[in-house]
């Protein structure tokens, strides 16, 4: 049986933009024929896309690094470099994308819209952009900017309306197989269900719902015991819980104790989850040994405000009545939860151990470039005043301006930093 993987950590990186080209074409009366270096192509972005044919995160078990292609460099004749192709990563519907460091939600992949997780870097400008009346022979171009990168955790939370909960071997898988076309593995031993099973339950024309068979929860599941802890997250989105209790007494269990134990585990895992509406099913009625078990469970359950259904999933007794009640209850409940993003992008840590390279072009323009500056500029919104002031402060505190003054820069000299140019003022 294939493993069920519902959590994975991956590293994703968008492509770097291509470099601009330095090139000149032949043209009469134009110095060096005039600049015609093309721009570099944009780096490919990393895009997440829901695939309803996927039910686990198994694809991410062995491959943990994903990188989109870089953009191609520009060339002469004003030819732009080719953009890098976007890398599309498919995930199951219901996958939460979290920041690996903070755990904050970046995106809930519950709809069909693709999501750009990492944006590709901009391509560098070719020298055609830097020609001016006083600088007719620009012998420099700009490098492409790096693409975004991110460490993320993918966490699958099933999108089901109804979650079947209860101890192992109480008949949850049998019930799912009877009311839907799902075909879960069924056998008479604990933890037959090793991963959640989904089934669509048809009620009437235009009325249906999705039911999930969650692996059996045991005492201590909220603290990591058994399989329950790993799969409790899949009940998070369920609007309604169907609590299956074995009243047959065939395994010597007490149904009232089982009912309370499961609800205590839900409370320990999530107090909000413990308040979710429940319908309690007294299952295995056809082989019940002591009717007293049923009566004690009924009184206990109804005292807590829940309704009790008697059924035998194996004998198909009472299942249609249960389905009707579930559909009726769902019609009064709000839709499946979709989580709102919590993550706010923060400027990446800047490695200042390798200072930017500074040199002077033939026309006197001061060129500043390097990985540190690339990363700094990718985190700066130059259309925003406060962002520009932060950028200026970072340049000053890094000692860049002091180095340039030591190298002889004068008031009014032109400074070029990738696709940003300005006149230096002392």
Given 268, 300, 330, the domain boundary residue is 330
Percent of the chain with pLDDT over 70: 87
Average pLDDT over residues 39-49: 96
Q: Does residue 110 share a domain with residue 250?
A: no
Q: Does residue 187 share a domain with residue 151?
A: no
Q: Does residue 30 share a domain with residue 75?
A: yes
Burial class (CB in 10 A: 0-12, 13-18, 19+), 77: exposed
What CATH number is given to the structural domain containing 39?
Answer: 2.70.210.12
Q: Does residue 118 share a domain with residue 13?
A: yes
Give the number of other CB atoms < 10 A from CB of residue 105. Answer: 16
Residue 197 has pLDDT above 80, yes or no: no
pLDDT level of residue 138 (50, 70, 90 thresholds): confident
Is 187 inside any structural domain? Answer: yes
Instruction: Compute the Cα dihedral for 233, 265, 254, 322 and give only its sign.
Output: negative
Q: What is the pLDDT of residue 300?
A: 94
pLDDT level of residue 31 (50, 70, 90 thresholds): low
pLDDT level of residue 190 (50, 70, 90 thresholds): very low
Residue 86 has pLDDT above 90, yes or no: yes
79 neighbors 72 (Cβ within 8 angstroms): no
Q: Does residue 274 share a domain with residue 196?
A: yes
Q: Does residue 315 share a domain with residue 292?
A: yes
Nearest in space to 10 (alpha carbons), one of 113, 165, 117: 117
CA distances from 350 to 113, 149, 355, 385, 391 (A): 33, 14, 11, 21, 12
Is 342 inside any structural domain? Answer: no
Residue 192 has pLDDT above 60, yes or no: no
Q: Does residue 149 share a domain with residue 105?
A: yes
Q: Does residue 151 share a domain with residue 177?
A: no
Is 10 inside any structural domain? Answer: yes
Is 337 inside any structural domain? Answer: no
Average pLDDT over residues 95-104: 92
Q: How far apart are CA 323 and CA 77, in angstroms?
A: 70
Q: What is the pLDDT of residue 234?
A: 72
Q: Please state the pTM of the whole predicted model.
A: 0.68
Q: What is the pLDDT of residue 187?
A: 41
Q: What is the pLDDT of residue 106?
A: 95
398 neighbors 353 (Cβ within 8 angstroms): no
Nearest in space to 96 (alpha carbons), one of 85, 81, 106, 111: 106
Nearest in space to 89 (alpha carbons), one of 50, 122, 135: 50
Q: What is the pLDDT of residue 189?
A: 45
Q: How far apart are CA 67 and CA 45, in angstroms?
A: 9
Q: How far apart are CA 295 and CA 246, in angstroms?
A: 13
Chain segment 320-352, per-residue pLDDT in tens? 999 999 999 999 998 877 888 888 776 555 556
Q: How far apart are CA 401 and CA 387, in angstroms?
A: 18
Q: What is the pLDDT of residue 143?
A: 78
With tokens 């989580």, the residue in question is: 339
State the DSSP string of 347-358.
PPPP-TTSPPEE
Chain segment 368-390, per-residue pLDDT in tens? 988 788 778 776 767 767 778 87
Enumerate long-range contacts of 200-203, CB under 8 Å, 24 or more apart: 201/162, 201/323, 201/326, 203/323, 203/324, 203/327
Q: How far apart are CA 11 and CA 106, in angstroms?
A: 14
Is 414 inside any structural domain? Answer: yes
Is 240 inside any structural domain? Answer: yes
Q: What is the pLDDT of residue 379?
A: 65
Q: Average pLDDT, whole number, for the chain?
A: 83
Which stretch, 108-122, 217-231, 359-373, has highest mean pLDDT?
108-122
Q: Does residue 113 share a domain with residue 228?
A: no
Domains identified in the chain, total number: 3
Given 121, 136, 156, the domain boundary residue is 156
pLDDT level of residue 127 (50, 70, 90 thresholds): confident
Q: How far apart are CA 125 and CA 255, in angstroms?
A: 73
Is 177 inside any structural domain? Answer: yes
pLDDT level of residue 227 (50, 70, 90 thresholds): very low
Q: How far apart are CA 230 and CA 222, in angstroms?
A: 9
Average pLDDT over residues 263-272: 84
Q: Does residue 320 share a domain with residue 171?
A: yes
Reduced to 3 states (helix: H, G, I; strand: E, B; else coil), residue 328 is: helix
Given 156, 179, 198, the domain boundary residue is 156
Sorted by sequence, the CB contacts under 8 Å of residue 235 that are 6+ apart come out as 163, 165, 212, 214, 241, 266, 273, 276
Q: What is the pLDDT of residue 186?
A: 45
| Residue predicted with more confidence, 403 or 198 | 403
Q: How far apart are CA 92 and CA 105, in angstroms?
A: 16
What CATH number is given to the structural domain containing 360?
Answer: 3.30.300.350
Is 343 inside any structural domain? Answer: no
Q: Does residue 166 share a domain with residue 150?
A: no
68 neighbors 16 (Cβ within 8 angstroms): no
Lowest mean pLDDT among 171-175, 234-238, 326-330: 234-238
CA distances from 294 to 43, 283, 310 (A): 65, 10, 9
Q: Does residue 294 share a domain with residue 151?
A: no
Residue 390's domain comprises 349-426
| Both structure tokens of 321 | 């009545």
Chain segment 276-327, per-residue pLDDT in tens? 899 999 999 988 888 898 999 999 999 999 999 999 988 889 999 999 999 9
What CATH number is given to the structural domain containing 295?
Answer: 3.40.50.300
């Amino acid at each position: 049986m294939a493993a069920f993987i519902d959590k994975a950590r991956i590293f994703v990186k968008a492509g770097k933009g291509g470099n601009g080209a330095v090139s000149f074409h032949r043209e009469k009366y134009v110095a060096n024929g005039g600049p015609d270096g093309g721009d570099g192509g944009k780096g490919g972005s990393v895009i997440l896309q829901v695939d309803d044919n996927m039910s686990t995160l198994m694809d991410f078990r062995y491959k943990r690094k994903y990188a989109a292609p870089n953009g191609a460099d520009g060339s002469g004749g004003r030819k732009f470099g080719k953009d890098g192709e976007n890398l599309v990563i498919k995930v199951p519907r219901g996958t939460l994308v979290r920041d690996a460091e903070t755990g904050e939600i970046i995106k809930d992949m519950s709809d069909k819209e693709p999501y750009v997780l990492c944006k590709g870097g901009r391509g560098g400008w070719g020298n055609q952009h830097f020609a001016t009346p006083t600088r007719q022979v620009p012998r420099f171009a700009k490098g492409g900017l790096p693409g975004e990168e991110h460490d993320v955790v993918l966490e699958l939370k099933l999108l089901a309306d109804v979650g079947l909960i209860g101890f192992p071997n109480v008949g949850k898988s049998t019930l799912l197989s009877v009311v839907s076309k799902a075909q879960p593995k069924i056998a008479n031993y604990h933890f037959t269900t090793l991963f959640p099973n989904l089934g669509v339950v048809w009620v009437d024309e235009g009325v249906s719902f999705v039911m999930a068979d969650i692996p059996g929860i045991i005492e201590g599941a909220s603290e990591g015991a058994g399989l329950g802890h790993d799969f409790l997250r899949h009940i998070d989105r369920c609007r309604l819980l169907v609590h299956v209790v074995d009243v047959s007494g065939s395994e010597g269990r007490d149904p009232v104790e089982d009912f309370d134990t499961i609800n205590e585990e839900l409370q320990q895992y999530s107090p909000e989850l413990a308040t979710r509406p429940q319908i309690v099913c007294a299952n295995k009625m056809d082989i019940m040994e002591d009717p007293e078990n049923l009566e004690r469970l009924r009184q206990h359950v109804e005292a807590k405000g829940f309704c009790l259904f008697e059924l035998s999933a194996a004998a198909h007794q009472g299942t249609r009545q249960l389905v009707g009640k579930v559909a009726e209850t769902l019609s009064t409940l709000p839709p499946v939860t979709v989580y709102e993003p919590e993550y706010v992008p923060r400027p990446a840590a800047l490695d200042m151990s390798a200072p930017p390279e500074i040199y002077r072009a033939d026309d006197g323009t001061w060129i500043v470039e390097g990985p540190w500056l690339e990363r700094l500029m990718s985190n700066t919104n130059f259309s925003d005043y406060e962002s520009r002031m932060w950028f200026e402060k970072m340049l000053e505190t890094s000692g860049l301006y002091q180095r340039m003054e030591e190298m002889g820069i004068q008031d009014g000299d032109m400074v070029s930093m990738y696709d940003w140019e300005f006149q230096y003022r002392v």
